[in-house]
Structure 1
Amino acid sequence: MSAYEQYAEEKSKIDSYMKQQYVITGVREGLSGDWLELKHPGGDEATLLVETADARKHFANLLLKQSLAP
């Protein structure tokens, strides 16, 4: 899998959670990537491993937007 394909797959997963109204509640950094901790208003929780730098930039932008939302 190319680097772009991996990024596109990770971005798609992140966007899918966001469309389902999940919010990012935490980020844990590790040697293999960052673990996103997500929570749905209904109580469901999920974690997602993000390995590519571009996908990390994407979720960082979403996190900033989330923190600025009223």
Structure 2
Amino acid sequence: MKFCWSTLNVNNMEESLKFYEEIVGLKVDRRFNAGANTEIAFLGDGETKIELICNDDQKQVNLGNDISWG
């Protein structure tokens, strides 16, 4: 099975980037603001990426419901 990306909503972008960069070993491919209180980062250097979305308006991420496969 192939997939292009996995989207994860996160509570803290800096903490999440630190985990994926230092522990998992992924590099940030792109990082940008996507609205007033939303930031998006794509990690990975191959055809499959992990997308992190941090929305400051979202109080708490639901780990069961806030994952999307693309």
Q: What TM-score bracket applies, with the shorter chain setting the length? A: 0.3 to 0.5
* TM-score, L = length of structure 1: 0.45
TM-score (norm 2): 0.45
Which has the larger share of strand?
2
